[in-house]
Amino acid sequence: MPPYDSFLLISFGGPEGRDDVIPFLENVTRGRGVPRERLEQVAEHYYQFGGVSPINQQCRDLLAGIEKDFAASGVDLPVYWGNRNWDPLLTDTVTAMAADGRRHAIAFVTSAYSSYSSCRQYLEDIERARAAVPDAPRIDKLRQYFNHPGFVEPFADAARSAAESLPLPVQGTYDLVFTAHSIPEAMAGASGPTGGAYPRQLAEASRLVAGRLGRADSWRLAYQSRSGPPSVPWLGPDIGECLTELAETGSSGVVVVPVGFISDHMEVVFDLDVEAARHAERLGLPLARAATPGTDPRFIAMITELVSERQDGLPPRALGELGPTLGVCGSGCCGLGAARPGVSA
């Protein structure tokens, strides 16, 4: 193959004003039969923040950090950015790349894990965009990075800082709870090349972060942002159920680590900072939420390293027992397994 001539950041996208919210949610749920009333309920979450999801600005900030780190590391690749559900849409970005003469791009997606929603659907997005653009570049997606030091270590430091914000008597006795976006159990069962990769990878990332806090054997994994019908089993327990159980068993306080997310987007700032925080307050349970990696220099350096793995043959790094994931997904990897999620926050 010809060498890489460009870098592409691919993300979920989000509205940037009140008028964007309903059209954005319609994009997310197109073809899934989600009732208008449900869209309007979720829209209220965005309206609490002026109709603006933080995710697009976070992508701009991340892209600026990547450009700077590429320059410092001698990676000579122009950077592009395209979204699944809102401007800049991926097809428009691929059109611009083709117009610029790009022939072979390397892509980083803002999801660290294996599942249909977090990996294979992005591959489908890429192929759909390429099919719509004459002379589109080939686009190779980078591997999952849930157990890379550049992902784990920022979370560990953020969890430590969150614990220090709890009331002094709680700082040594808090419970540690990790959260991730729930998906249907059937989808989780089909994730990865042999199944069950999504919950397994989440548990491994949680264990690695907890270990750096001296709590490798004392943590919980909960889920959030469920968006499907009650008749379909989804991964649990829900974060609200988890907090209730902790309060009932005498917990002195909780540090919540959103290990399933790379940045503080809507599922974090609403589902955790608003809903979970209110629930904890009603329970009389002190709660602190750890920051996500965002633009932590170690996370940005990880992206540069992943590019160098693929481009220059740099040996892949991974912590823990699962090792680095494959750089190329097989045809049966991360099958759908169930109806796609509808819409959460």
- Is there a single domain that holds both residue 46 and residue 117? yes
The answer on 304 and 276 residing in a single domain is no
Same domain as 211, residue 124: no
**Residue 118 maps to a domain:** yes
Extended strands (E) in the chain = 6-11, 79-83, 104-109, 138-141, 175-181, 220-224, 254-257, 287-289
pLDDT at 340: 53
The pLDDT, as a whole number, for residue 338 is 47
Q: Is residue 94 part of a domain?
A: yes
Instruction: Please give the pLDDT value at position 1.
Output: 59
Query: Do 308 and 272 have their domain in common?
Result: no
- Whole-structure pTM value: 0.94
What does the pLDDT read at residue 317?
Answer: 97
pLDDT given at position 336:
65
Are residues 197 and 103 part of one domain?
no
In the chain, how many domains are there?
2
Residue 336 lies in a domain: no
Domain contains 324 = no
Contact between 182 and 343 under an 8 Å Cβ cutoff? The reply is no
254: domain range? 149-289
95 CB neighbour count, 10 Å cutoff: 17
Q: How many residues are given for the chain?
A: 345
pLDDT of 345 reads 44
Whether residue 183 is found in the same domain as residue 272: yes
134 to 9, 21, 96, 240: CA distances (angstroms): 21, 31, 11, 48
Looking at the structure, tell me whether residues 270 and 181 fall in a common domain. yes
Could you give the CA distance from residue 7 to residue 170 in angstroms, rounded to a whole number?
45
- Give the strand order in the sheet containing 175-181: 220-224, 175-181, 254-257, 287-289
Q: Tell whether 197 and 219 lie within a shared domain.
A: yes
CA distances from 42 to 52, 148, 211 (A): 13, 33, 36
Burial class (CB in 10 A: 0-12, 13-18, 19+), 281: exposed
Per-residue CA distances from 145 to 75, 80, 86, 91, 244 (Å): 20, 20, 25, 25, 32
In a domain, 101, yes or no: yes
In a domain, 21, yes or no: yes
Q: Distance between alpha carbon 20 and the CA centroid of its chain, in Å?
A: 22
- Residues in the chain with pLDDT values less than 70: 1-2, 336-345
Same domain for 209 and 141: no
Assess whether 138 and 154 both reside in one domain.
no
Residues 212, 234 share a domain: yes
Q: What is the DSSP string of 119-135?
A: IIHHHHHHHHHHHTSTT
- Within this chain, do residues 140 and 161 fall inside the same structural domain, yes or no? no
For β-strands 287-289 and 220-224, DSSP reports them as unpaired
Of 274, 289, 304, the domain-final residue: 289
Q: Tokens in use for 117? A: 């929603």
**Does some domain include residue 332?**
no
Burial of 323 (0-12, 13-18, 19+ CB in 10 A): exposed
Q: Are 178 and 224 in contact (CB under 8 A)?
A: no
The three-state secondary structure class of 77 is: coil
CATH number of the domain bearing residue 51: 3.40.50.1400
pLDDT of residue 337: 53
What is the C-alpha to C-alpha distance for residues 250 and 282, in angstroms, rounded to an integer?
15
Return the pLDDT at 333. 84
Domain membership flag for residue 103: yes
